Structure 1
């Protein structure tokens, strides 16, 4: 795909190339000790809770009332609590590394903690968790009509996990020479970190619950990073606050395309073991501390702690970790720390109804294949404030999901000083972050790193940026097939440096066997980014393959590129001209209109009757001239996308289906050989099924009441190659069947670790079960059948015959296999269950095959 996500995805490639060796950077450790006694009697208070206010750092006193608290971070005070005593705070001197603070606890004046009634033989944590679910209707933020807030987000990325062997490579030595005068940074486990990115963003976020809408206005972004040259894209990728939208009241938490069971969801008892540890002070709230662990380490579940408010049973704070044993690829560890506060009413007072996230910290250690591979440490810190609730905006206000300010990347140090004072607080850039920025600037000056940036850009986007032009895409650079021999192609497109409105594209290809030049040119003019309105014209002359038009394959460009290799059956030459207009008048509804023409000149033996009423006496013809106009509507609710210069990059929809309907009218008035009507429909969606995994379906249908040669109907996409390709018929021959009306369903279900995680021995392999079903109902009218001819062609060849389906018997394929073998490969068995006799042209059918595919996914 032509998606220029160079801001983030290149870091995974850089993680396989870069390193640093140097001195260690030691973290500061503070120590607070003291004695906790009864204020009236002076007796020591054993097992009292001692915690830093606003932090999840704490300890308990021993049997003599003494405590020692060691930490890398300090707050302004500590709080001491114990059953029967009033909570007591004491100030902390933030400048001292060691200090002693004794605390005298007065007796409680009646504000005792709620009593926890424990049933005989029951885990005491269960009672608290039942109350959490019972009070969800009051505490879950979804009860609010609308809410909005200011948000500060800091993102840091760094290379980690370097081995001695990797340091010996040439690139690493060059980096070490450049960085030898700079101290390195280490994480909490002692791994050296090489900073790759440091960014700060300020946004204002709006939510509305009925109907569900969301909008983000990116106010300001500043960023320093390797391979980052566009703060506009970065502000949309890094400046959003979607991380804070993780709602642990939901049954499942989506992370990296997987669904993790929530420890406070409806199914908490089926997934977790719990332990009620203690009560502690979190901000102004007294909370139960509940520890949780997955019953099976391989399951998609968390390990961590939750703090539940003792009066409202609301989730006050949670620390959820994903361990290395979870069935998740390329993740050594991932931790989510989320803080929540009750929303204010119209007077600004806390209502304790509808708790919103006010802080979040996400830390992820990503890795390649193998325990010793390099990795990426990513950390996101987020702080929300200035919350306003129950003041919904008009629905049209939320139409643009992410709106960057015109001055988003403009330098303004005074603005950032204000942000650090009023919004970010202690989470703003600190000394370690400043060191990271300095190291990044040094790293970007290394010539070898600049070369790695260019290589990574090509690998991720398919294009190499050279001034105002992008050269590529490189997956189309060459192919080898039986018609063209060695096919080479060079192409380009202009970028935003050339023009913010005009986009030019073009390519030139040549085949060494057919000795033919092919070409394509296109000019687009971007009228509006707000409603994504474009007009354009395109023209091309190229070799195509029957049935593999972009309309029929749904824009699967990778499959389209691979189809140019090998035996090129169904090849034809085509000249195409088209003008189009596209606009998005309402968020999620894309309208397209086009008018064009194309030719069909087959390179395989094919002919049709130009006068079918004459039967075998009819003259034969093989070429087709098609001229048409068409209109298309695409509905994609909740689709997310970002703007990258003149490109709009979709990030997919959130569980909503994507529907596309197109009507095409061919007319002799435009120069076509036939008058016809055709309508096509596509619908695709991914369904989350909780512990059962995820199901994806693609439904397509088409109908034309007209009498047309087979190439203008619906040739169904077969795939007789050994490579598995989803959304095709993997046991069908190329152009084995053609229909003038059809319905096709492609269903694929990924069980994730639902079954294999429960099988001893296999569960350690992190294999995943996958199954698919592909079905096709179609028919071909007698009038269209009469267009075909069995007469020998003038060159002595017998023409290709297209088969057709019995409308009462569907074509069916079923498959099952193992995915995630070595985290990359998939092996699948495919059974063809119907139409088992030799097909048209006497090609034998193959009922069963083993196919393989490779993909990278979490």
Structure 2
């Protein structure tokens, strides 16, 4: 599980990429008017005899980092005398530059209305985007990727704390960041070399990681995230997606509605005449960047670009983000990425300890319209870590890197390995692992989830539970789990055991088997808080008396054919027992049934194109895709087989799509439909997902009770829209709170055939939904960055007993 912590962080950082030799010279500075002492914006700052440079911000601030810097800075601006400043190579330094105004006599100028030169250039860029966008042609290349993670805001008080007495050797690696001026300590570095293949139409991308090196980790599951395949967004897109925020690209088709452009300079780059354009947002808190770029005057292709998050963008935990892109000419008309960098400052506040994330991608050996080799085209997954990729020697890396690591960078590997040998570090990681994964590891066993240790309900009274599973130290191929629970009211033990065996991890192939005898809430959303969650016990809005004892044996085989397409064959044998609140009384008379036994085979087919995911030794967590996820289930039960009481077929389709609706946020859409063929009692019908807690559940009908509606054929629709503060940002007081608007609408219609109405008497309150059920909500999320509050209205079936036409639900979520 500790490895999964690292995997999740790297994957999270990689899946949100925004753009596509010695010591490092780092300069942070500010430029002023020498007479007025006012800061000067849009001043050019370059290293002498190079094209490496930047411009000052609206506050006159600038930063530069370079591995090949000269010892002199040239600072120039129209109307001022150029200044030359000596700097020290290979160190961090802060400078202040005063520019002297220069008197220039100009002839009379006649100003006529018309379009600015900068806007004319932007229109040409937009008109030529399709032919310049690297995503629109096919190619192969070699990639070098470097990712580094740092702890920032390291000061003397931190160094003196007793908790760091065993770590004094790490302070030799403390450095200063040129972008923010904060000190930082590197804690993780990883590098990879890969062969990358991309085809534009039909789109296909494949990557083979030939070599990878990671500090403190030697794990193939982590290694897959050191390549390029998850880094796909580029400056030519109209919107650059950063952690679910669709930020307007400076060369977006609608860029002139969001940005002001200024033509700053022109010069030759690679013997081609280029213009320099700066851009800044027209309004505060809009999803935009600041920065500048160079563009070729004949192809209108981007040559160099630097973008930075504009002030007050409504983005959580991200204090700053800077991305650069440098392109190289492949021929007379095409510019291709040469190197891209990304820097992100993650902090709760500007002064607290947080994290820096750095990423560098270098491209080489680019071949246009390259064919996919047979071994690559036939890969079952988009990404492959070559055997032996983790075993390359230092000599190999010294030759393979496109640039030399600094002594600090090279030393991170040894430092991190040394840290992991300190006992206090191991204890700290164990505690973090427990809170993130809800388990506490003790040798071969992981105890948890800890939040299920105690709960209470109407059936069991006080419920006590101990549970756990084997750790990766026990095995990385097979995992066992078990639990034991006891209720002091029903005075009954509940228990369960299970196992999972990994046949293959990439593509995933696994078998599992489990047995449990425990209470269950039929008709509960699969993503709801579990009934033995302590929070569920306190957040009930109705008495928790609809629980049912279920004895369930399940065995399954799961096979992933290639990334995004998988099948799962499941055999389930379930025995459901009645309670005084949920009796099983035949419609035609006779004694109540003592139980219902059901044995089924279910074939699930899951499809999601271009899926991104992270995986540990046993777990696989989807990071989603730009495409929808589709699940289709076929279930068969044969009467008499394995004691099954009923004969039926069941079809189920679920369509889920999360997509951007730029520039007004993003949305989720869910379509769920099903039909049962055969005669079944109500516990085997589709008991529609209600919610009898005050916790918001996206996948349930939050104003519906449990056992309120059932169907043997049905269709439900769900739409949720996150506006990302587009309205609230216009109010100065609310703007500072960074609250965001959210709205949902849910619709359900279904029916029950006469034959299924005649099997068992329905409990009081349970009926069909031939008249549509609808509910809507509006809410505010991002309260204190983690709280969501929704006001919900139930629009139909208002005469049903014990219902609420209006309610408020609260959710906890971590969003960016």
Residue 406 of structure 1: aligned partner: 387
Residue 553 of structure 2: aligned partner: 577
Give the Å deviation of 1:477: 3.5
| Pairing 1:247–2:234 present | yes
Say if 1:324 and 1:678 are closer, same or farther in 2 by CA, change over 3 A. Answer: same
- DSSP-derived class of the 2:223 partner: helix
- DSSP-derived class of the 1:720 partner: coil
| Pairing 1:386–2:365 present | yes
CA contact (8 A) 1:679 1:704 kept: yes
Aligned to 1:358, which of 338, 349, 352?
A: 338
- DSSP-derived class of the 2:263 partner: strand
Residue 160 of structure 1: aligned partner: 152
CA deviation vs aligned residue, 1:395-425 (integer Å, no higher than 9, x gap): 94354122112222225112111113xxx22
Give the Å deviation of 1:731: 1.1
Residue 711 of structure 1: aligned partner: 683
Give the Å deviation of 1:330: 0.4
Give the Å deviation of 1:554: 4.5
Runs of 5+ unmatched residues, structure 1: 14-24, 32-46, 61-68, 83-91, 98-117, 344-349, 790-798
Residue 121 of structure 1: aligned partner: 114
| Partner Cα distance (2:215, 2:746) in 1 | 48
Calculate the TM-score normalised by the size of structure 1. 0.80
Give the Å deviation of 1:632: 1.6
Aligned to 1:449, which of 425, 436, 443?
A: 425
Runs of 5+ unmatched residues, structure 2: 13-22, 30-42, 57-62, 77-85, 92-110
Say if 1:814 and 1:317 are closer, same or farther in 2 by CA, change over 3 A. Answer: same
- DSSP-derived class of the 1:409 partner: helix
Residue 826 of structure 1: aligned partner: 788
- DSSP-derived class of the 1:705 partner: strand
- DSSP-derived class of the 1:717 partner: coil
Structure 2 matches for 1:35-434, cutoff 5 A? 55-57=51-53, 74-75=68-69, 120-144=113-137, 146-161=138-153, 172-176=161-165, 178-179=167-168, 182-183=171-172, 184-188=174-178, 189-225=180-216, 229-243=217-231, 245-343=232-330, 350-353=331-334, 355-368=335-348, 370-393=349-372, 396-397=377-378, 399-420=380-401, 424-425=402-403, 428-434=404-410
CA contact (8 A) 1:299 1:753 kept: no
- DSSP-derived class of the 2:605 partner: strand
| Pairing 1:734–2:706 present | yes
Say if 1:652 and 1:440 are closer, same or farther in 2 by CA, change over 3 A. Answer: same
Give the Å deviation of 1:572: 1.3
CA contact (8 A) 1:684 1:698 kept: yes
Give the Å deviation of 1:846: 1.3
Say if 1:30 and 1:673 are closer, same or farther in 2 by CA, change over 3 A. Answer: closer
Residue 449 of structure 2: aligned partner: 473
Aligned to 2:774, which of 794, 812, 837?
A: 812
* CA RMSD across the alignment: 3.5
- DSSP-derived class of the 1:505 partner: strand
Say if 1:722 and 1:527 are closer, same or farther in 2 by CA, change over 3 A. Answer: closer
CA contact (8 A) 2:70 2:89 kept: no
CA contact (8 A) 1:51 1:280 kept: no
CA contact (8 A) 1:637 1:653 kept: yes
Please identify the structure whose Cα radius of gyration is greater.
1
| Partner Cα distance (1:711, 1:646) in 2 | 32
Give the Å deviation of 1:576: 1.1
CA contact (8 A) 1:600 1:625 kept: yes
| Partner Cα distance (1:28, 1:570) in 2 | 65
CA deviation vs aligned residue, 1:187-208 (integer Å, no higher than 9, x gap): 2244221222122222222211
CA contact (8 A) 1:308 1:317 kept: yes
Q: State the aligned residue count.
A: 751
| Partner Cα distance (1:831, 1:59) in 2 | 52
Say if 1:96 and 1:711 are closer, same or farther in 2 by CA, change over 3 A. Answer: closer
Say if 1:563 and 1:187 are closer, same or farther in 2 by CA, change over 3 A. Answer: closer
CA deviation vs aligned residue, 1:262-317 (integer Å, no higher than 9, x gap): 11111111111111100134445432111011112311111111110122110111
| Pairing 1:518–2:499 present | no
CA contact (8 A) 1:752 1:768 kept: yes
